[in-house]
């Protein structure tokens, strides 16, 4: 596709103050119509094509572990494809992230296309920020539906308020994280916000510390979503204290070391205006 014909995503999206307050209290939010169905359809084609070129999974479903069965991934596609770049660096999306976090600007950490196949397994309970060597709690992930999706396809669920607990230990996404965090959620009495039906262009946003996951896809259709992670401008790199943070430092914050501003060439700034 000629990227010049892709929809312009520079227009703003109004986030009412009460919705931003809700996000900060619950640790997650669902916003309708972040992209129009037409915008979502146009970028869906670009994102899926880029994932096929740069990150397609070839291992059969029955030969993958729990994490591998959760979804087909396409990691950090924006530096490789101009169309995906326009989506990931869109001022509209970054502006929402900044508004929800209450900051003037955010930097891109990485993007990730996530496709849950028919028969795809659960996404175990986990904390995204387990993977990120950053010194701020102001981190946020957008999960946008690229097609209409139903709860039976495995839409996102969240443990409301769990972000306030902060880092809960070296618990990468796995069967173990699912079991231990399920027990933790029950013991703390967190209310679970179960996945909702979403139209193409609807999006959830959640803090990096918010416990979340997704059920299996029990339908015959692939659940297609695109995620983008941002963090508040001004954050600094921390000393990696687990394997995944060390790997992320090399991949998504290249050339930086602990104490540096988290502002490599791979982390472009997106401002509210």
Q: Which of 66-80, 154-168, 242-256, 259-273 has the lowest mean pLDDT?
A: 66-80
CB 120 within 8 A of CB 223: yes
Whole-number average pLDDT of the chain: 93
Q: What is the pLDDT of residues 209-256, one digit of tens each?
A: 999 999 999 999 999 999 999 999 999 999 999 999 999 999 999 999
Q: What is the pLDDT of residues 29-53, one digit of tens each?
A: 999 999 999 999 999 999 999 999 9
- Average pLDDT over every residue of 121-131: 96
Burial class (CB in 10 A: 0-12, 13-18, 19+), 18: exposed
Q: What is the pLDDT of residues 132-157, one digit of tens each?
A: 999 999 999 999 999 999 999 999 99
**Tokens 């967190």 label which residue?**
190
How much is the pLDDT for 9?
A: 96
| CA trace torsion 197, 201, 207, 213 (10° rounding) | 40
How much is the pLDDT for 72?
A: 74
CA-based Rg of the chain, rounded to a whole angstrom? 17
Assigned superfamily of 29-266: q2cbj1_9rhob like domain (2.60.120.620)
How much is the pLDDT for 271?
A: 79
Q: Which of 31-35, 41-45, 56-60, 99-103 has the lowest mean pLDDT?
A: 56-60
- In the predicted structure, residue 184 carries a pLDDT above the cut 80: yes
- Average pLDDT over every residue of 53-82: 74
- Average pLDDT over every residue of 94-98: 97
> Which residues contact residue 189 at a Cβ distance below 8 angstroms, ignoring those fewer than 6 apart?
none
pLDDT category of residue 62 using cuts at 50, 70 and 90:
low
- Average pLDDT over every residue of 69-84: 86
Share of the chain above pLDDT 90, in %: 88
The full set of domain ranges for the chain reads 29-266
Round to whole Å and give the CA distance between 264 and 257.
11
- Average pLDDT over every residue of 94-102: 97
pLDDT category of residue 54 using cuts at 50, 70 and 90:
confident
Share of the chain above pLDDT 70, in %: 92
Residues β-bridged to residue 237: 134
Please give the model's pTM, rounded to 2 decimal places.
Answer: 0.94
- In the predicted structure, residue 71 carries a pLDDT above the cut 80: no
In SS3 terms, the chain reads as: CCHHHCCCCCCCCCCCHHHHHHHHHHCEEEECCCCCHHHHHHHHHHHHHHHHHHCCCCCCHHHCCHHHHHCEEEECCCCCCHHHHHHHCCHHHHHHHHHHHCCCEEEEEEEEEEEECCCCCCEEEECHHHHCCECCCCEEEEEEECCCECHHHCCCEEECCHHHHCCCCCCCCCHHHHHHHHHHHHHHCCCEECCCCECCCCEEEEECCCCEEECCCCCCCCEEEEEEEEEECCCEECCCCCHHHHHHHHHHCCCCCCCCECCCCCCCEEECC
- In the predicted structure, residue 70 carries a pLDDT above the cut 60: no
How much is the pLDDT for 57?
A: 62
Q: What's the gap between Cα 212 and its chain centre?
A: 11
In angstroms, the Cα distances linking 272 to 52, 80, 85, 142, 188 are: 32, 25, 18, 16, 36
Round to whole Å and give the CA distance between 128 and 45.
26
Residues β-bridged to residue 159: 192
């Amino acid at each position: 596709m000629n990227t010049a014909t892709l929809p312009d995503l520079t227009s703003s999206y109004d986030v009412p103050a009460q919705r931003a307050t809700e996000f900060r209290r619950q640790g997650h939010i669902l916003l309708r119509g972040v992209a129009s169905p037409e915008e979502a359809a146009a970028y869906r084609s670009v994102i899926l094509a880029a994932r096929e070129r740069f990150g397609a999974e070839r291992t059969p479903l029955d030969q993958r572990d729990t994490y591998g069965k959760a979804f087909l991934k396409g990691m950090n596609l924006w530096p490789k494809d101009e169309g995906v770049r326009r989506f990931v660096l869109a001022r509209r999306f970054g502006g929402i992230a900044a508004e929800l976090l209450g900051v003037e600007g955010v930097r891109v950490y990485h993007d990730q296309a996530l496709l849950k196949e028919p028969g795809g397994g659960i996404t175990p309970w986990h904390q995204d920020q387990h993977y990120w060597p950053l010194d701020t709690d102001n981190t946020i992930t957008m999960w946008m539906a690229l097609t209409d999706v139903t709860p039976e396809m495995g839409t996102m669920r969240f443990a409301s308020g769990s972000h306030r607990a902060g880092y809960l230990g070296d618990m990468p996404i796995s069967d173990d994280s699912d079991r231990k965090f399920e027990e933790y959620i029950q013991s703390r009495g967190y209310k679970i916000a179960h996945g909702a039906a979403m139209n193409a262009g609807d999006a959830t946003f959640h803090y990096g510390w918010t416990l979340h996951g997704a059920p299996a896809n029990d339908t015959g259709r692939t659940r297609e979503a695109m995620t983008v992670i941002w963090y508040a401008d001004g954050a600094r790199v921390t000393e990696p204290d687990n394997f995944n943070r060390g790997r992320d430092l090399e991949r998504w914050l290249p050339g930086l070391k602990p104490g540096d501003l988290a502002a490599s060439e791979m982390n472009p700034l997106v401002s509210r205006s």
